[in-house]
Amino acid sequence: MSRRLFCVGAVFCLVGVAAALFGRPGAEEFVLSERARRLHQRAIVVDTHVDVPYSHFSKTEFDFSQRHAPDWGHVDIPRMREGGLDAPFFSIYIPATVTGPEAVKRALQLIAWTRALVERHPHELALATTAAEVRRLHREGKIAVLLGMEGGHMIAEDLLVLRTYADLGVRYLTLAHSRSTNWAGSSGENDNRPLTDFGKQVIRELNRLGVLVDISHVSDQTFWDALAVSEAPMIASHSSCRALCNHPRNMTDEMIRALARKGGVIQITFVDTFLSQELYEAQRATEAERNRRLAALRDLFPNDPERQRAERERILEEYRRQGPRVSWERIVDHIDHAVKVAGVDHVGIGSDFDGATMPDGMDDCTSLPKLTEALLRRGYSERDVEKILGGNLLRVLEQAERVAQRLRGR
Ligand SMILES: [Zn+2]
């Protein structure tokens, strides 16, 4: 044991003894914070939804090795280190309006860009494609970057394209994004047509490839149909609980329970609109007016996409300021609710960092340790917190790997 470690340990024990003997709240606080800090450091923290590729692709000025202010993205290497974010799934995402060969081209570009980003920082980052690799990289002190693909439109209805993505390292596929595909329904369109035969083939191929089936963004019917077909446990990569915020992007208790019964995991998302019923309702009340103003920007600033983007941001920020504030503690409420519904083995986190507005106090990935402390404070055991932070997701990935081996051995 190093001298420094010994000193920290000694102080830790003394304060613990003092807290036990005298019940001083200050000392107890210190002990709990210290326990949370160590636990967070030791745990493998997996976040199944981080939009780094989409938000930084084609921007040369963002140096991932430098620390940026919280208002410039939510993630970079120094901030991942500080926040103890060990294994982010970087999202391969292009808008659902882009389809066919163009969608495939752009998805491949994003994958290549992300792999190149990882290769540029070989001492800090490495691509991981299995749970065992994530564990090994964590032991080596490296951040394990995984790839998740957000939207079935990118496979262009071709299982060989899907297989190519898997070969390049993609480890989950969100069946649909904001629009339905020809084979899977989106919650964005409340499309409750049944999953088609091709959709079922996609699920079987995902199982065979060891790529996780992700049901965030899909319609309720597509969720149920996918659940019936999938031989491997499924994930919701970034969804929260409809019982607390009745947004179609969230899951009902019945869905969370069914997902868990087949071994899956709901990765609670931090997106403010999906956490707070009040904010969701306020946004719906102004939706028509907001959309009208946003649509007018094209005519107001023709041939000036930069200005359009800036004005768009300004308008969205204006509505954000008017709406009710949402605290980061709502994330813990959703985690807690999902645990009560499905059990502690079936809940994790999928932030949507770099892709959405975060609640107050979750400024960027350096705020992640707050969740660990809050869960301990609510009486969760250290073992259970480790499961929520990443253990559950790694278990599901391992199960999917085993299903793939079995199916390929047939
Ligand atoms: Zn999303």
Tokens 């091709």 locate to 198
Give the distance (Å) from ligand 1 centre to CA of residue 217.
Answer: 7
Mean local confidence (pLDDT), 276-297: 92
Backbone angles phi, psi at 271, to 5 degrees: -55, 120
Q: How many CA atoms lie within 13 A of 365 on its CB side?
A: 35
Q: What digits encode the pLDDT tens for the residues 78-88?
A: 999 999 999 99
Mean local confidence (pLDDT), 95-99: 94
Give the distance (Å) from ligand 1 centre to CA of residue 136.
Answer: 29
Give the distance (Å) from ligand 1 centre to CA of residue 150.
Answer: 7
Mean local confidence (pLDDT), 164-183: 97
Distance CA(236)–CA(227), nearest Å, equals: 12
pLDDT at 33: 92
Give the distance (Å) from ligand 1 centre to CA of residue 340.
Answer: 25
Give the distance (Å) from ligand 1 centre to CA of residue 218.
Answer: 10
Q: List, in order of start, the domains of the chain with CATH numbers.
A: 1-42 (no CATH), 44-276+326-409 (3.20.20.140)
Over pLDDT 70: what percentage of the chain? 93
Please, what is the Cα angle at 176 between 175 and 179, to 5 degrees? 170
3-state SS, one letter per residue, for the chain:
CCHHHHHHHHHHHHHHHHHHHHCCHHHHHHHHHHHHHHHHHHCCCEEEEECHHHHHCCCCCCCCCCCCCCCCCCCCHHHHHHHCCCEEEEEECCCCCCCHHHHHHHHHHHHHHHHHHHHHCCCCEEECCCHHHHHHHHHCCCEEEEEEEECHHHHCCCHHHHHHHHHCCEEEEECCCCCCCCCCCEHHHCCCCCCCHHHHHHHHHHHHHCCEEECCCECHHHHHHHHHHCCCCCEECCCCECCCCCCCCCECHHHHHHHHHCCCEEEECCCHHHHCHHHHHHHHHCHHHHHHHHHHHHHHCCCCHHHHHHHHHHHHHHHHHHCCCCECHHHHHHHHHHHHHHCHHHEEECCCECCCCCCECCCCHHHCHHHHHHHHHCCCCHHHHHHHHHHHHHHHHHHHHHHHHHHHHC
Give the distance (Å) from ligand 1 centre to CA of residue 269.
Answer: 9
pLDDT value at 71 more than 80: no
Q: How far is CA 103 from CA 90, 172, 356, in A?
A: 18, 17, 22
Mean local confidence (pLDDT), 226-245: 98
Give the distance (Å) from ligand 1 centre to CA of residue 34.
Answer: 34
Ranking 1-15, 36-50, 149-163, 361-375 by mean pLDDT, the lowest is 1-15
Q: What digits encode the pLDDT tens for the residues 203-227?
A: 999 999 999 999 999 999 999 999 9
Give the distance (Å) from ligand 1 centre to CA of residue 54.
Answer: 12
Q: How many CA atoms lie within 13 A of 333 on its CB side?
A: 16
pLDDT at 23: 54
Distance CA(33)–CA(377), nearest Å, equals: 9
pLDDT at 310: 84
Confidence band, pLDDT 50/70/90 cuts, at residue 24:
low
Q: What digits encode the pLDDT tens for the residues 178-204?
A: 999 999 999 999 888 999 999 999 999
Give the distance (Å) from ligand 1 centre to CA of residue 32.
Answer: 34
User: Strand 265-268 to strand 235-236: parallel, antiparallel, or no bridges (unpaired)?
Assistant: parallel
pLDDT at 320: 81
CA nearest to 271, candidates 40, 45, 49, 44 = 49
Give the distance (Å) from ligand 1 centre to CA of residue 193.
Answer: 21
Over pLDDT 90: what percentage of the chain? 80
> In whole numbers, what is the pLDDT of the chain averaged over residues?
92
Give the distance (Å) from ligand 1 centre to CA of residue 355.
Answer: 8
Give the distance (Å) from ligand 1 centre to CA of residue 86.
Answer: 21
Give the distance (Å) from ligand 1 centre to CA of residue 52.
Answer: 13
Structure pTM? 0.91
Q: How far is CA 270 from CA 214, 216, 267, 367, 393, in A?
A: 17, 13, 10, 12, 17
Mean local confidence (pLDDT), 2-31: 59
pLDDT value at 14 more than 70: no
pLDDT at 1: 44
pLDDT at 267: 98
Give the distance (Å) from ligand 1 centre to CA of residue 161.
Answer: 22
Mean local confidence (pLDDT), 100-128: 97
Give the distance (Å) from ligand 1 centre to CA of residue 349.
Answer: 13
Give the distance (Å) from ligand 1 centre to CA of residue 238.
Answer: 7
Give the distance (Å) from ligand 1 centre to CA of residue 116.
Answer: 23
CB distance 40 to 368 below 8 Å:
yes
Give the distance (Å) from ligand 1 centre to CA of residue 305.
Answer: 23
Give the distance (Å) from ligand 1 centre to CA of residue 148.
Answer: 11
Give the distance (Å) from ligand 1 centre to CA of residue 372.
Answer: 24
pLDDT at 25: 63
Give the distance (Å) from ligand 1 centre to CA of residue 18.
Answer: 47
Distance CA(302)–CA(212), nearest Å, equals: 42
Tokens 């085993």 locate to 402
Q: How many CA atoms lie within 13 A of 278 on its CB side?
A: 9
Ranking 37-51, 237-251, 276-290 by mean pLDDT, the lowest is 276-290
Confidence band, pLDDT 50/70/90 cuts, at residue 298:
confident
Give the distance (Å) from ligand 1 centre to CA of residue 228.
Answer: 23
CB distance 138 to 87 below 8 Å:
yes
Q: What digits encode the pLDDT tens for the residues 306-352?
A: 888 889 888 988 888 888 999 999 999 999 999 999 999 999 999 99
Give the distance (Å) from ligand 1 centre to CA of residue 325.
Answer: 21
Distance CA(145)–CA(182), nearest Å, equals: 31
